[in-house]
Structure 1
């Protein structure tokens, strides 16, 4: 009976005390918010309080170093700033965030029991413009090996090679470097001379770029042996004129040392060499010969020739004196524009000579026929006179 009376009066009091303790112990709470930020940006770390009664609030970094004790700075790191401290919200900022700052930040509320929540800071590292590494140089008729590299990103960047808006399949590899990842994409493509200067690009995609791309442009540098071609002057040159020959040279790398020479002879005294140009003034027969232009680089050499013929002019100033030939082959027949012009100018004289010869022949024939007819007529008259004289001597007959 006594126990029943005690429980009757004590049970409500015990329940009241239990509720009061529960509100004291669990009524106060703290909530933290996870944060994702770009490397180099500013992170806001917030701790939300419920039923805050002025208890101590401590914020710690992932290494459990105390950053702030209530509103007071505890760690000398100027990147951290307390921007808000109210009974409902505590907020700090972290500037110039790096991947080393990544982890859980502790929001702790010290009451009779310690309450804490962890705000996880995630750092995203977008890729920079990728780099292009040339593993093997491009030589005409061979292959070139190119590697596109994005040295740091988090999460890993996506790399692809593009040429003429078409993707080139490559070999992709990844390598972790602490909390970031290095990504590479290697391609091997055959190259010819025509590919020199062709445009390729390596594109890096990443969620942090929000649909944008970081692009590295690259131009193929294809090495090849030189080609040489002598460009002759236009028109007909005459004795006493000047001759300028231009040696057109291609190649990669472009040959710098261009050599002029004359086959089986030295260059004329008045010949001047200026880079790829050979200049000769006051041309004469002493300039006759075959001239060579030669060039070379590390991948080969090439040469071209030009044959110059100087013809005697009669009279010296009335006919073309010089003929130049195309330099495609040593075995081609000489085709001299001056000689052609001379032949064309000789045609009227030949025709006149022929006509004169025909007239002389006709006159001679007429004279012969006339003389022959005259002789015949004279012989006939002589015979007729003789018969008449004989008839007079012999009248009886």
Structure 2
């Protein structure tokens, strides 16, 4: 192929194509093309023998997407198939360039981004409240009908979300209890008040750390599992199958998970409190010269109301974690990327909400004098 195209000037500058504009000749097409002025008015393909996407890409690079879209419909000697190919390539490239964001900073971009995030947060809050209402209505309708209770699913979820989480909850809180005891001993030794390390550990785990750490662990472990399970069912169109059979996805999938967390999270929080106090006991006995008998006696002097205040937050955390995990699962679209994004979102939202509610509860307890 000695020449791939020629440019003819005149009243209507014309670009003539020659030979095979195909992939085997791609390098030759790129090396033999001529400079094309920007005022090409006509495209002549009478001597064009073959064309594929590689040739169309070279022509697109010469003329640009907008001019090619303008010239291709009126090109002489161009078959309908080749004309459609040129238009498809030009349209795709034009759409790709139009979708690329403008990276120039404009005044107000930050404010617009902040507004979009606030709006997105408000929409997520409304979606959560709607989902909460739908779940409560379904639960209220289900309670007087014991023959529709899914006890097998409830027990399975309790085993998965509760019993299987006991080792990690106990070990983590044991280590945190030891760290809190070390920290308390380091600070209180300077004041000669080492004995109050026991009170520090007991009050911290009964009121705050026990239930908080257990809820955070379940937010990362169980909320992500709920999202992945329901999301994979949606990707596999199993939720559509439930609707076809007249079954409620809320009743079948959400209620057992919600009740399982309502039952298991207070128990896990209690295990976490015991493990944290045990970790403080090991440090106290080994490094602070506080006997185990004395340690237990001091812990027993802590009022029971602090334990009840801590455990009282567990049901609220359970509802939030379960509903956020299930809601994000229902939001999954039909792709693995969407499943991963919503699983991550479920973990982040659950942990954030748990810490936020715990902070609000702490302020409320302080104002009430509890």
Same fold (TM > 0.5): no
If the length of structure 2 is used for normalisation, what is the TM-score?
A: 0.21
If the length of structure 1 is used for normalisation, what is the TM-score?
A: 0.20
Q: Which one scores higher on RCO, CA 8 angstroms, separation ≥ 6? A: 2
More strand by share: 1
More helix by share: 2
